[in-house]
């Protein structure tokens, strides 16, 4: 580097938007780091898991981070920083899944039952909610098992 001329300043188009997108991706990563710790007791309760069993969720997350950190540098050198960044954000968004929450705001009890048996809310009293996360794209039919006339479908793209 000694003796080389400093390259002239080249203005970067959309510098603000580029900065903002990188900041948002960093915030997303930071949230992802902490959200599992916050959600762990709730996940443990939902799965009726012991402390040893649920600790594996954190252990596997840490192992994945340990694998991906050095790999990111290699991938960025091989494919380019911009491409690796875009693929990372896109795959994170897809892998996060789409959660649908159904609210029974009617006066009678209903169920939200999948036609394929993938989910079943059980009896939903008026005012109660039920959430299901769709991890694969497709169209999923559902019905109310109390009132079989009530049918519908959810399309996940």
Interaction site with Cu ion (CB under 5 A):
110, 144, 146-147, 150
Q: Shortest distance, CB of residue 50 to Cu ion, whole angstroms?
A: 37
Burial class (CB in 10 A: 0-12, 13-18, 19+), 153: exposed
Closer to Cu ion by Cβ: residue 84 or 132: 132
DSSP symbols for 58-101: HHHHHHHHHHHHHHHHHHHHHH-HHHHHHHHHHHHHHHT-EEEE
Q: Shortest distance, CB of residue 108 to Cu ion, whole angstroms?
A: 7
* Rg, C-alpha atoms of the chain: 23
Closer to Cu ion by Cβ: residue 30 or 106: 106
Closer to Cu ion by Cβ: residue 82 or 147: 147
Distance separating alpha carbons of residues 84 and 101, to the nearest angstrom: 32
Distance separating alpha carbons of residues 111 and 128, to the nearest angstrom: 11
Closer to Cu ion by Cβ: residue 17 or 149: 149
Q: Shortest distance, CB of residue 156 to Cu ion, whole angstroms?
A: 23
Closer to Cu ion by Cβ: residue 99 or 108: 108
Q: Shortest distance, CB of residue 32 to Cu ion, whole angstroms?
A: 37
Q: Which of 119, 118, 154 minimizes the C-alpha distance to 138? A: 154
The terminus-to-terminus CA distance of the chain in angstroms comes to: 50
Q: Shortest distance, CB of residue 113 to Cu ion, whole angstroms?
A: 10
């Amino acid at each position: 580097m000694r003796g080389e001329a400093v390259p002239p300043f080249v203005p970067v188009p959309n510098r603000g938007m580029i900065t903002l997108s990188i900041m948002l991706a960093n915030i997303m990563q930071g949230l992802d780091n902490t959200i599992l710790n916050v959600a762990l007791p709730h996940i443990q309760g939902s799965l009726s898991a012991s402390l040893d069993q649920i600790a594996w969720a954190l252990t596997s997350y840490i192992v994945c981070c340990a694998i991906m950190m050095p790999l990111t540098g290699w991938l960025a050198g091989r494919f380019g920083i911009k491409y690796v960044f875009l693929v990372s954000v896109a795959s994170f968004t897809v892998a996060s899944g789409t959660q649908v929450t159904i609210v029974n705001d009617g006066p009678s009890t209903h169920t939200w039952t999948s036609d394929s048996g993938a989910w079943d809310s059980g009896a939903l009293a008026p005012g109660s909610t039920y959430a299901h996360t769709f991890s694969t794209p497709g169209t999923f039919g559902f019905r109310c098992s109390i009132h079989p006339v009530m049918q519908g479908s959810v399309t996940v793209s």
